[in-house]
Amino acid sequence: MTTVPFPAATITGYPRIGRRRELKKALEAYWAGRSSRQELETAAADLQLATYRRLVELGLGAQDSSLPAAFPLYDQVLDTTTALGAVPSRFADLAGADGGLDLDASFVLARGDAGRPPLELTKWFDTNYHYLVPEIGPATPFRARPERLVADVRRAAEDGFAVRPVLVGPVSWLLLAKADDDAPAGFDPLQRLAELVPVYAELLRELAAAGAQWVQLEEPALVADQDVPGAALAEAVWDAYTALTAPAAGRPQLLVTTSYGSPGPLLHTLAGSGIEALHLDLVKGAVPSAEELALFRDEDAPVLVAGAVDGHNVWRADLAGRLAQLEELARAGVEVSVASSTSLFHVPHDVEEETQLDPVLRSWLSFADQKVAEIVTLSRGLAQGPDAVAGELEAAAEARGTRAEAPGVRDAAVRERADSLTDAEIGRAPAEVRRRAQEGRSFTASGPLPPLPTTTIGSFPQTPEVRSARARARAGQLDQAGYDRFLREEIERVVRLQEELGLDVLVHGEPERNDMVQYFAEHLDGFATTVHGWVQSYGSRCTRPSILWGDVSREGDGVRGEAFTVPWIGHAQSLTDRPVKGMLTGPVTILAWSFVRDDQPLGRTAEQVALALRDEVADLEAAGIGIIQVDEPALRELLPLRREDQPAYLDWSVRAFRVATSGVRDETQIHTHLCYSEFGEVVSAIDGLDADVTSIEAARSRMEVLTDLEAAGFSRGIGPGVWDIHSPRVPSQEEIEQLVERALGHVPADTLWINPDCGLKTRGYAETRASLEHLVAAARTAREQLAAPAGPPLQVQHGVQA
């Protein structure tokens, strides 16, 4: 083993999509058959080289292992899966003669093929990134496949860079995995740790042989509470890392990272395991206690890699405060390196690109490139003393100073309103009282709703025409009046289609929304949007989170501002006798999918957003909209990783939803919509939202969520999705009937709604029309069966296609 010291400044990862989304374009061209494999590989290699050059320009060392070689083409967990040769059994036919998956095969795992769905996509910790879940069974093969990792190291060396390869560490990789379908009941992927570790050891040896002095193993799962008991987890960590660091010829030195939180007692385990460097997320509070600091002073103790610059948000760091913190660690006799708290792939590349942003706001921000410079500054300050970086410290302090004082950051009227909110204002009448008021209500001239009402989740297909009209309006080629006319016509088309299909509760289709959060950010004070601020969501998919920098209220005069969804939704209602459901994005989701101010508690920010939405809800009601849906697909996403922190989060998030929705009359029906996640663990919070009706993604999991809701005694209106809208596949009427029957086995008929899993904006009209026809027909059949006095009893069908 070599003993090259750990670099004094580093980052744990960098955006990989490219400043101009070069990787996205290269991937999508390749998948569409518009470019060759060679062209894709060349584009990816060019991007790696450009990244190294940029990082060195920003002050990281070219030769000291400070540059992470972390360039997954699709996902870092998938790359670790392929490097381990862990081919899931349902993809076994794709393995080559050597047992490995080549690039094309790995894309099948990521994207599926005609015969099989892809690996499951799930949220990466408390972020909006999604990783591909490994599927592990008792017999899943493990074989070191270091070729791609080694090629990256060698190519970098040829270009003059000594880089640090990155893998998901063995414990986290197994904790992130799920048991494959063939695994026996009770099988836990962690049971395979002992077989997995030698494969990691082999990968490490190969990387060392290729010239890597340091390898980074990411163990973020150690900062989240797991189902595994603490002692078993500590044992797993100990076994894995003492084995990987056991004296062995030709291994690289190991950095273990623990982003997104604190490893808690596992800090002891890791620090004593023999690893050479341990990364802690100081931003998320993983600041070692005096007793823990002693662990870093032992002989053979690891270097403390201090994640001092926030990789997960966009605010310029308090450099002086951070430097003082680092100096304190150093004074305790600990060897300290400076790093980002998480990989920088959660933030966009470079704030200098945002030339349209107010320069004052821009001066408060720090994207990936600025963060690298902050790290380099801190590291210089630590080595040479604060005077050596006095200019940088002062500039950072000044930016933070203007931020604290700037108009709009604190708006007295908004604050006063939030402060004076009483509990009475955020509660509605008891659910049964509301239910009676809503039951049999003629929401419109068309009369009361039938049993098992049919509806959709809000958006209709965003066709090329809709996108192009929006682009032309943005570019000034279509004037405001022309664009408005276009949108009104589009809404009319969507309303007529729903009438023709026979849906009971209509929607306006959301054609005016580029994105369900950004559209709201554009109409609320306190938000800014970016032009190039793309962040990877999964694979080649990127989102452009808005920046919530100030106090929030609707744009326009006064603290209430002006309604911005009413013109569209009201227009839809004016066209039809059937009820139109108004659609809003909820406060938690707006926060989760934006970069949020860090100068006050999230709950406070959520409350302001909620008040702005409460105004919109009131205006919709006043405009005659009797059903209003407030979407919270991200409710589960912000759930803290530690159980002890969860109740406080659920408190403020549920409260924010109620602030937004409780200002209406009893007979106004409030809906919410949840998707994307396992909601089983937050069922009581869903109940706490106090919505009259909840639609929830359920088709893919074959209504599993209903078991949780039933167990929790959930008795409100519920619309479990009966059409998985994530692929163009059209479900048959019979298939939907089966799901409806299954749902009726769990919930009373008078609470059940029939709807798809989620919005239809990514779908085409052909499959939308066909699927909704089947959905409406299935609802009719179910109604007839419910009404038939002597008809065959509805049966829950078992063994329908899984």
Q: By CB under 6 A, is residue 491 in contact with ligand MET?
A: no
**Residue 719 phi/psi, 5° resolution?**
-120, 80
With CB under 5 to 8 Å by kind, the binding choice for 317 among Zn ion, ligand MET, none is: none
Spell out a b/e string for 309-330, using b for 16 or more CB atoms within 10 Å of the CB, else e.
Answer: bbbbbbbbbebbebbebbbebe
Is 631 labeled as ligand-binding?
Answer: yes
- Comparison of 457 and 754: residue with beta carbon closer to ligand MET: 457
**376 three-state secondary structure:** helix
With CB under 5 to 8 Å by kind, the binding choice for 303 among ligand MET, Zn ion, none is: none
* Conformation bin of residue 218: beta by default, left when phi > 0, alpha when psi is -120 to 50: beta
* Conformation bin of residue 554: beta by default, left when phi > 0, alpha when psi is -120 to 50: beta
Is 128 labeled as ligand-binding?
Answer: yes
- Comparison of 460 and 652: residue with beta carbon closer to ligand MET: 460
**Residue 583 beta carbon to ligand MET: minimum distance, rounded to whole angstroms:** 5
Which of 128, 759, 767, 772 binds ligand MET (CB under 6 A)? It is 759
Binding stretches for Zn ion (CB under 5 A): 633, 675, 758
Is 723 labeled as ligand-binding?
Answer: no
Is 755 labeled as ligand-binding?
Answer: no
With CB under 5 to 8 Å by kind, the binding choice for 671 among Zn ion, ligand MET, none is: none
Q: Which of 312, 532, 671, 726 is catalytic?
A: 726
Q: Nearest residue by C-beta to ligand MET?
A: 759
Which of 83, 583, 588, 610 binds ligand MET (CB under 6 A)? It is 583
Distances (CA, A) of 565 to 226, 577, 627, 665, 690: 42, 20, 14, 19, 23
Q: By CB under 6 A, is residue 252 in contact with ligand MET?
A: no
Strands 594-596 and 541-543 turn out to be: unpaired
Query: Considering only 177-185, 229-237, 542-550, 754-762, which stretch makes contact with ligand MET by CB under 6 A?
Result: 754-762
- The continuous run of DSSP H or E covering 136 comes out as strand 135-136
**Residue 629 beta carbon to Zn ion: minimum distance, rounded to whole angstroms:** 11
Is 541 labeled as ligand-binding?
Answer: yes
Report CA 481 to chain centroid distance, whole Å: 36
Is 24 labeled as ligand-binding?
Answer: yes
**Residue 669 phi/psi, 5° resolution?**
-95, 125
With CB under 5 to 8 Å by kind, the binding choice for 761 among Zn ion, ligand MET, none is: ligand MET
* Nearest to 72, CA basis, from 98, 36, 109: 109
The Cα 92–Cα 173 span in angstroms is: 20
Q: By CB under 6 A, is residue 458 in contact with ligand MET?
A: yes
With CB under 5 to 8 Å by kind, the binding choice for 516 among Zn ion, ligand MET, none is: ligand MET
Q: By CB under 6 A, is residue 699 in contact with ligand MET?
A: no
The Cα 385–Cα 378 span in angstroms is: 10
Query: Considering only 110-118, 312-320, 451-459, 602-610, which stretch makes contact with ligand MET by CB under 6 A?
Result: 451-459
* Conformation bin of residue 799: beta by default, left when phi > 0, alpha when psi is -120 to 50: left
The number of residues that bind ligand MET (CB under 6 A) is 12
Query: Considering only 76-84, 128-136, 455-463, 702-710, which stretch makes contact with ligand MET by CB under 6 A?
Result: 455-463
**Residue 274 phi/psi, 5° resolution?**
105, -5
Handedness of CA 790, 791, 792, 797 (dihedral sign): negative
The Cα 291–Cα 506 span in angstroms is: 61
- Comparison of 345 and 593: residue with beta carbon closer to Zn ion: 593
Which of 758, 772, 775, 779 binds ligand MET (CB under 6 A)? It is 758
The Cα 517–Cα 652 span in angstroms is: 20
CB 708 within 8 A of CB 683: yes
**113 three-state secondary structure:** strand
Is 259 labeled as ligand-binding?
Answer: no
- Comparison of 305 and 516: residue with beta carbon closer to ligand MET: 516
Please give the torsion angle defined by the CA atoms of residues 7, 8, 13 and 14, in that order, rounded to the nearest 10 degrees. Answer: -110
The Cα 316–Cα 339 span in angstroms is: 15
Is 697 labeled as ligand-binding?
Answer: yes
Q: By CB under 6 A, is residue 761 in contact with ligand MET?
A: yes
346 is catalytic: no
Is 457 labeled as ligand-binding?
Answer: yes
Query: Considering only 397-405, 498-506, 553-561, 758-766, which stretch makes contact with ligand MET by CB under 6 A?
Result: 758-766
CB 720 within 8 A of CB 675: no
Strands 277-281 and 214-218 turn out to be: unpaired
In the region spanning residues 514 to 553, those forming contacts with ligand MET, defined by CB under 6 A, are 516
**Residue 758 beta carbon to ligand MET: minimum distance, rounded to whole angstroms:** 5
Is 542 labeled as ligand-binding?
Answer: yes
- List the catalytic residues: 726
Annotated binding site for 5-methyltetrahydropteroyltri-L-glutamate: 24, 128, 541-542, 593
Annotated binding site: 24, 128, 457-459, 510, 541-542, 593, 631, 673, 675, 697, 758
Binding positions for ligand MET, rule: CB under 6 A = 457-459, 516, 583, 631, 633, 673, 675, 758-759, 761
Annotated binding site for L-homocysteine: 457-459, 631
